[in-house]
A = this chain, B = another copy of it.
Amino acid sequence: MEIQKKENHFYMTNHAFVMKAEGLKKKLIVKKEEPTGLVTVQTDPNAVHGWKCKKVADIDSLDDKAYGKGESLIVDFGDHQVGYLVMKIRPVGSPPDAPLHLRLTFGEMPIEMGEDFATYDGWVSSSWLQQETMHIDVLPHVLQMPRRYSFRYLKIEVLDASPKYAVAFDEIYCETVTSADTRKLSPITTADPLLAEMDRISIKTLQDCMQDIFEDGPKRDRRLWLGDLRLQALANYETFKNYDLVKRCLYLFAAVTDENGQVSSNVFVAPNLIPDDTYLFDYSSFFPVTLYDYFVATEDLETAKELWPTAYRQIELALERVNENHLVMDDTSGAWWAFIDWHKDLNKQAAAHAILIYAMKRALGLARAVDDEKRAAFLDNKIKQMKKAAVEYLWDEKQQFFVSGAERQVSWASQVWMVLAEVFDIEKSSQLIDMLLTERPAIGPVTPYMYHHLIDALIMVDERDVARQVMKEYWGEMIEDGADTFWEAYDPKNKNFSPYGNSLINSYCHAWSCTPTYFIRKYKMY
């Protein structure tokens, strides 16, 4: 897979949309969270990534010890935190006659406490690894780290003090930040403790990703991606109900498009709003979907109307990839043209075809809501043509599976998205899903993002018990493996899987993994 990188990156800015998005920005909710204990990290062949943390002392014992050159400690905050670290550092011994040289390492997972970051060899930037070294010239000092971190564990290493003094840590805390207001949450009652725990962790995951924007992950990339936004918004409607944050994000995407009007797969909001130069077929198609979901949740017709041209433009642009047989054309260049899932061998044609149908159906809903009859008629017709094409060109009657690409690949993603696109009626879709769960083709889902669509497809064919079961198996095993928040990538068959070639860099609090609460609450699965 080649990453996208445009030589000449032009984009159009709609100033009024930028201003509207900025007007929707709110003050974050700040809370002080204190650590609960001191831990050590140790190897354990049975633990995920081979590392686990073990409690060695209560946090009160922090006061008892001064740490000199070469000494270190690991502080456990007991749960996942996103925020700003504050530490009160006091010298012990003679007046400090040299600066204090400290290294702080923040980790969401034990592996980040155990493994040396210098061993990192993944393909995304090592600069995401949360480690800082610093010199403190004057002690005592209240260290207020200016960057935001995402972590449960904090390793503090005294690289050097001096032969004449050591340091004690009188107070350590995190000022957490979020735009999720927990007062908006409704409690649910369930006799199933695992469902209750999945709901709690889903909500915590969403909460920690809700900042000035819906971030994909507060550790990495801290960015607004359309695919993640769509799922976060759904979970948010069932929990925190922060409608303005979804509206803000929709305007951010609509405010900066390429010269053809395509919304980017993701946008940067600092130092100012800039669209990334990565454009993905499925993510752009999710713009009308996310707008439609927002409209259904809020009945905010004014926003639907104002963003309708942007939404419709995504469909027009996606249709440029559809050939005379009404079929989404595959890519043969090796370019990263659609996301779908992180499975490295996944062919994306069939899923992309289905996603466009899925998106056009939501666009059709919007067209009717905003009284755009002409486009509604066009979409209605196009959906029919593309459904027909899907069956004609991608359905393999012999295998009873949809196939994708020149090599006619059978993947979970293709079947799941065809079900969600309602290419077949419920009965036939149900048979397809049963077949999928029985045959289990090799190209399976590797992220909670793809598992979300599997669950969604099961619900669409009214198989809620199976949906609950699959959800409990997948997210439940993640909980058993120690998830405080749900992870970006999780393959139960290969627990060291990383889309980036190294588990250190994975995000262990990732927005697209937060949807169990959406299913549990929307479909009253408790």
Contact = CB atoms under 8 A, between A and B. Distances in A.
B133 A133 contact: yes
Interface string A480-516: 0000000000000000000000000000000000000
* This protein's copies in its complex: 2
Given A94-B277, A98-B124, A137-B147, 20 more contacts: A3-B164, A5-B164, A9-B94, A95-B277, A97-B125, A97-B276, A98-B125, A98-B127, A98-B220, A99-B128, A100-B127, A101-B125, A101-B126, A124-B162, A125-B161, A126-B160, A127-B161, A127-B162, A132-B134, A138-B270
Nearest 4 interchain pairs by C-beta: A98-B125, A101-B127, A125-B162, A99-B127
A441 interface: no
Contacts of A270: 137-138
Contacts of A135: 127, 132, 147
A160 B126 CA distance: 6
A224 to B, nearest CB: 12
Nearest to A120: B160
Nearest to A123: B163
A93 B274 CA distance: 13
Contact of A94 (B5, B93, B96, B133): B5
22 contacts: A3-B163, A5-B94, A5-B163, A5-B164, A96-B268, A97-B276, A98-B124, A98-B125, A98-B127, A98-B220, A98-B221, A101-B127, A124-B162, A125-B161, A125-B162, A127-B135, A127-B161, A127-B162, A132-B133, A132-B134, A133-B133, A140-B271
A276 B128 contact: no
Interface residues of A, number: 45
Contacts of A221: 97-98
Contacts of A124: 98, 162
Interface string A1-43: 0010110010000000000000000000000000000000000
Nearest to A267: B95
A190 B271 CA distance: 56
Candidate in A99, A161, A223 with the most chain B CB atoms within 10 angstroms: A99
B134 A98 contact: no
Interface string A68-83: 0100000000000000
Contacts of A223: 97
A125 B98 CA distance: 6
A239 B161 CA distance: 37
Contact of A125 (B134, B139, B160): B160
B132 A94 contact: no
A159 interface: yes
A67 to B, nearest CB: 14
Interface string A99-121: 11100000000000000000000
Contacts of A5: 93-94, 163-164
Contacts of A3: 163-164
B128 A98 contact: yes
A101 B128 CA distance: 9
Nearest to A275: B95
Contacts of A134: 132
Nearest to A6: B94
A167 to B, nearest CB: 12
Contacts of A138: 270-271
